[in-house]
Structure 1
Amino acid sequence: MGKNIRRIVLAPLILLFIVFISTFAILFSGSNHSSEPDTGNVETTLTVEEVAQKGGISKERAQDVLAIFNHLMSKENITLEAAAGFLAIGERESGFDPKAVNSGGGVAGYFQWSGWSSKVNGDRWANAPERKLDSKTELALLSKELNGSYSKVKTYLQSAKDSGEAALYISEHYEGVALSDGQTKADQLKKDANKWESVFKDSLKKSGTSQGSSGPVADSYDFPNGYQGKLKYGQPSAKVMTTMGANTYPVGQCTWYVANRLQETGITTDSAVYNYLGDGQDWVSSLVARGWKQVSSPKEGAVMSTAGGVDGTIASYGHVAFVEHVNADGSFLISECNYKGVQNKVHYRVLHMQSGYSFAVAK
């Protein structure tokens, strides 16, 4: 009987506990959805050409501006005003040139980090993944600092509401340039911050959605359904994964695939012309030497070279891909082979412009 009594006493207690937990979970879930808006994963819909025109800079530097801005908005989740302030700093420090070097101060890069050619001003370059002056490396360094020793700066930037004040804050607390220092150029800094805020205002969208102004997101070995019927040259067929014509590149390599794709699309009927173009990163320059035209932004049917080290490519080889479609916001779909070492499947990605990408089209 003792066991029966124990069961009778415990049963309602267990039931009450379950009800309490369920109610708590529902209430907690509801409060989370209503009180914490999802502000991350935001990017601009502006194209390279639009940023260049609105910002009064070259298309080459506009690519860097887009890379910096989209990184800050989508990866660091800071406000538009804070990102505009950061751009004002980048304009002051380097003119958005990732290869900018001030050997006198030992600093280099977008934001003139110390420790490049000397350590007279410290050694912040020691935190970079490698000693290389390119966009990917420098954005990785920026992220490491904002999520490490400069986390207080990031916290401020995630709630900043005034672009000019954000620029001054970044100058003082991230760049280390006192507001009283003539190098601060406070008035110009605030003016530039307001300019960049105006450039990107009303151009923001959530990234990572399956549909939208940028088209469907792709990073898959399956053809993205959202692009069905959109490709000028049609979807790559099974035969593109077999050696076509006089293609002499090693089977499964990115170079082998693009040579096949150029033949499948009819862009070339003389496949031998596209042999011996070098490694993936050499293709655009080699094609230009053979009569193709280099363009500053992606075009359908273009060959795209990726510089070695960019997007995780091998530094001495780089990569080459085929541009299948360009979206309204300037992002673009590529097809490729030998992505992450997979050599028996076509891979698809949607990319945004950044330093290290170059393009060539047949005349």
Structure 2
Amino acid sequence: MIYFDNAATTKIESTVLSTYQSVSENYFGNPSSLHQLGEHSQQLLSQSRKQIAHIMNISEGEIYFTSGGTEGDNLAIKGTAIEKMNYGRHVITASTEHPAVIKSLEQLENLGWDVTYLPVDKEGKIDIDELENAITKETVLVSLMAVNSETGSLQPLKKVGELLEHYPSIHFHVDAVQAVGKIDLNLNSSRIDMAVFSGHKFHAPKGTGFIYVKAGRQLAPLMSGGGQENNLRSGTENVPGSVALAKALRLLMEKKTDSKVELVKMKNLIIDYLSTLDKVTVFTPKESAPHIICFGIKNIRGEVVVHALEREDIYTSTTSACSSKKKDKIHAIAEMGYTKSEAESAVRISLSYLNTEQEVDVFKKVFNEIHSQLKLIE
């Protein structure tokens, strides 16, 4: 099997899975309990938070454990909206955001909020001048995805941050789910106020994640209860998940430099190969994340190619896994100026450090056969 769908989810590292199982079996006490079992669980949770803070070069008090990207995005957006609703009711985002962002903002719109959806260029980027022109006295939040999950496009976060230095009251939220280990965010020295991370995107268990909230920034909690996570995210903590999350992040960062080199090499091999084929368009821009390649065969729907590859035990996808089965799926490709037909042809390959050049070679051989058959269809 060749697994090229890592932007949808990754396989849990075997050592991370062992850690998860060990903690589940031996440290099952509720961290809020007064007895020794609870204390041991609380210590593990604190150690995991401390480890993540050290890896990300931020403070422990800026990390809040969540269940993943969707919860984190909802917390950042709706938490800001509730906290700052008396100061303004306007949010700015891009037209190519993840459904977790788009659907959260649609809910705010139904409650009377104004949302500006900035267009993107051929590379999937917003225009900084258009962002500045969209800011009003009512603006309380700018929300952008660091790495587009469909195309690998990068938003100009540094330039956005430089602009928002002139607007200190506006929260800046970044969906960093596809960014961790792939691009440098430098949270400690950036203008980013909130960044969302999801464990299952970097070989940790599903249902794990964390949100960075810069010290001094206030969010309203979405879940009320026992006051866990410093009152921002109530609910009994997922201790084994958080410990496994911290370990997976450590392993990722230890391999980051070599991994990025290998990812870029594999990505370039695939793009160079695809660029030689008739009727194939590569949608991923030149400046993009190292692990995502998006392409399409003219007049061939993406799911046809995905299933053809699947029959050869190669697993890819069409768009974001959160929307790929829905008829109203969001196409970043269409927003980038391609036609509806081109957008519907999109296939995404997404890599991880577990992939190899040998797998790329197998993909090329298999795709040669698929392409030779499909390119004859008008």
TM-score > 0.5, shorter chain as reference: no
* TM-score for the superposition, normalised by structure 2: 0.26
* TM-score for the superposition, normalised by structure 1: 0.27
